[in-house]
Amino acid sequence: MMHNFVSVLIIVFLTACTHKPPSLSLRKIAYSPSEITTQTFHAGKEKSYLSLDLAYAPFEKIRKDLEAQDQLQLQHRGEAHITVITPPEFKILQKKVSMKEIETLAAEMGLQKSAPQLLCVGKSSLQISGKMESTYYVVVESERLYQIRKAVGLLYHKKGGKEIFDAENYHPHVTLGFTKRDLHIEDGVKKNASSCLYGLKQN
């Protein structure tokens, strides 16, 4: 039954259009598209979120170029990933859908083949304890990620979920670093193309 449901979702959702990157008249940071490769995907610590892991080296280079140009020294995690389902979202979903079901659905829909498109380097800031703190990230686009989230939402509601899971309230990105701590949508920041600080150019 689950397999049939997934098959229908794959047919419906993977016909969506591809979004074009924003037209930017910003300073540019170079990167090599061939180095942007997916590694795997997994449910994070205590299976509380779903993420797509990426090769770290190209994002480390972008971070170092950003630090050099803006004279920054950022804290970072030494890895690169795109969160697909966040921990607060899974708190809602887990009432009807297990992380194993979400992983199965993501695998069936080809999460690991998402091929994210890099749009720009973004910056979001927030005053914390009287000081302005910032987080920097690469804004990405991948229609497959949106469609997987929509499929998870449909499964959740199909199984009787009543609370709101907003599949489209989603801003995929790869965090590069931050001054104090990472900032999230729960903090009121949106890591989308409206926050672009630098453009990206291909080597």
Digit-coded pLDDT (tens) for 68-124: 999 999 999 999 999 999 999 999 999 999 999 999 999 999 999 888 999 999 999
What's the maximum distance between 2 C-alpha atoms anywhere in the chain? 55
Rounded mean pLDDT, 148-176 = 96
Predicted model pTM: 0.85
Query: Do 101 and 179 meet the contact criterion of CB atoms below 8 Å apart?
Result: no
pLDDT of residue 8: 43
Instruction: Give the type of residue at 192.
Output: N
* CA distances (Å), origin 128, targets 88, 98, 178, 196: 21, 35, 13, 22
Rounded mean pLDDT, 119-147 = 96
| 92: three-class secondary structure by DSSP | helix
Helix 99-108 × helix 2-13 angle, to 10°: 50
Q: What token pair was written down for 109?
A: 């829909």
Q: Domain range holding 150? A: 2-202
Digit-coded pLDDT (tens) for 27-74: 899 998 888 888 788 776 678 999 999 999 999 999 999 999 999 999
pLDDT of residue 25: 56
Alpha helices in the chain (DSSP H): 2-13, 57-70, 87-93, 99-108, 143-158
Burial of 118 (0-12, 13-18, 19+ CB in 10 A): buried
Count how many domains the chain has: 1
CB atoms within 10 A of CB 158: 11
